[in-house]
Homo-oligomer: A and B are copies of this chain.
Amino acid sequence: MTTTTSSPNAAALTAALPELREAYAALQAKGLKLDLTRGKPSAEQLDLSNPMLALPGTRSRGESGTDVRNYGGLDGLPELRAIFAQLLDVPVDQLLAGGNASLTMMYDTVAWAMLFGFPESPAPWSREETVRWICAVPGYDRHFSVCEELGIEMITVPMTETGPDAQAVAELVADDPTIKGMWVVPTYANPDGSVVSDDVARALVEMPAAAPDFRILWDNAYALHHLTDVETPTAPVLRLAAEAGNPDRVVMYASTSKITWAGGGVSFLASSPANIAWYKKHLAKASIGPDKVNHLRHAMFFGSADGVREHMRKHREILAPKFRAVTSILAERLGKYGVGEWTDPRGGYFVSLDVVPGTAARVVGLAKEAGIALTPAGATFPYGNDPEDKNIRLAPSMPPLSEITEAMEGVATCVLLAAAEAFAGE
């Protein structure tokens, strides 16, 4: 993660206020309708997997002879699990392939902990007076929504360039048995693009936790989603957890939502044998097995782990120019006034932009009035509450490059105008 830091040139910006107001009026006059809100793949990216539209073609059986069309096979199709076990660096018998959303697997994990508890839980979490959870900020709004939905109180720790602040986490969990878990997006985190180092991963799996059933939900959503030719590996967290004597601490998730199709992909869950047994025990009551036809479709399309890697390079070719457009416009327009800090991610789906504190909501409001939809200010914090009102998540994957350029020029104008207003005391 590269962060561009600069100290704002307040005087120059205040002087530019009339000019910025004119620029904003001109922006509004354009009548734009642009959207940078969500990390959705573009149609061009989805097209990369179009051979799957006609797969599995005539095949209806997996390699072992399983009829993929029928019931059963709670673990998912072995040949697809073999490919992703290699990519995620986990034993294949500790990896399940599921439906079209790893979010569902994460939700179920926490919901089942509430209803039943983990094997070593003193009680189902819903019986506890208070259940708390650590969220590194900025972070992923859907993670926060799962906690909020289930009545889990969220505590924040800062994100660093190497993942959640492990020291802050360790201090929190050491004495507080109500803290039952934390979210981690280890590779190219949403939204700041940070990558958890092996040291941070080791610290998180080694630290003593007061709650015997403390869990790290390790959402490796962007494991393979590189934006440069450096294909950063994810810390081998299951192995590290086992070595640390805490094999059951980590549950890992991944999916092909941003590899093949966001709505028609396959999700994965990997963990210790005990956690896998726990998860399957409950899953068996709720499922007749995953859609193995879609598993076969994916296995045939990829062929191998290298097939997936090769496929991801095609995504990179589409995405990298969009990210370059975002960061170069920010550098050019905001850099001039020394306003803002932003990430220059090496992978993932987001640029995290910190504007002048106290102006993020104003920036998002100005952009909206000019026809540019941004993720709501505060969305990257639990309860939508960014205490400094400064973080904005930019999602450049979906629109075509020309729209991104236009939208980002507009966003830059809004950021500068809001900053100038703030410096002018308005």
Contacts of A312 in B (CB 8 A): none
Does residue A291 face the partner (Cβ distance < 8 Å to B)? yes
User: By the criterion of a CB under 8 Å from any partner CB, how many residues of chain A are at the interface?
Assistant: 56
Closest B residue by C-beta to A148: B285
Contacts of A54 in B (CB 8 A): 54-55, 57-58
Contacts A46-B70, A57-B53, A150-B115 given: A264-B291 contact, CB under 8 Å? yes
Flag if B56 contacts A286 (CB, 8 Å): no
Does residue A357 face the partner (Cβ distance < 8 Å to B)? no
Q: Which of B114, B262, B291 contacts A263 (CB under 8 A)?
A: B291
Does residue A380 face the partner (Cβ distance < 8 Å to B)? no
Does residue A378 face the partner (Cβ distance < 8 Å to B)? no
Minimum Cβ distance to chain B for residue A256 (Å): 11
Flag if A294 contacts B264 (CB, 8 Å): yes
Mask, A259-295, CB within 8 Å of B = 1, is 0011110000000000000000010011111111110
Q: Which of B46, B107, B111, B292 contacts A264 (CB under 8 A)?
A: B292
Flag if A68 contacts B263 (CB, 8 Å): yes
What is the CA–CA distance of A56 and B49 in the complex, to the nearest angstrom? 13
In chain A, positions 87-136 with a C-beta closer than 8 Å to chain B are 99-101, 103-104, 107-108, 111, 114-115, 124, 126
Does residue A406 face the partner (Cβ distance < 8 Å to B)? no
What is the CA–CA distance of A68 and B262 in the complex, to the nearest angstrom? 9
Counted per complex, copies of this chain come to 2
What is the CA–CA distance of A264 and B419 in the complex, to the nearest angstrom? 53
Contacts of A49 in B (CB 8 A): 69
Which of A13-21, A36-44, A168-176, A178-186 binds B? A36-44
Closest B residue by C-beta to A54: B54
Flag if A40 contacts B257 (CB, 8 Å): no
Contacts of A99 in B (CB 8 A): 99-100, 291
Contacts A59-B53, A99-B291, A290-B100 given: A69-B285 contact, CB under 8 Å? no
What is the CA–CA distance of A251 and B285 in the complex, to the nearest angstrom? 19
Does residue A146 face the partner (Cβ distance < 8 Å to B)? yes
Q: Told that A53-B59, A107-B286, A257-B288 touch, could you supply 16 new A-B pairs with CB distance under 8 A?
A: A38-B71, A46-B60, A46-B67, A69-B263, A70-B261, A70-B263, A100-B288, A104-B286, A108-B286, A111-B111, A145-B285, A261-B293, A262-B288, A263-B291, A264-B293, A291-B294
A-B residue pairs in contact (CB < 8 Å), sample of 26 = A40-B70, A40-B71, A43-B70, A46-B67, A46-B69, A46-B70, A50-B58, A50-B60, A53-B55, A53-B60, A68-B263, A69-B262, A69-B263, A72-B263, A73-B263, A99-B291, A101-B286, A101-B287, A107-B286, A107-B287, A126-B126, A145-B285, A262-B288, A263-B289, A263-B293, A291-B291
- 3 closest A-B pairs (Cβ-Cβ)? A264-B293, A107-B286, A69-B261
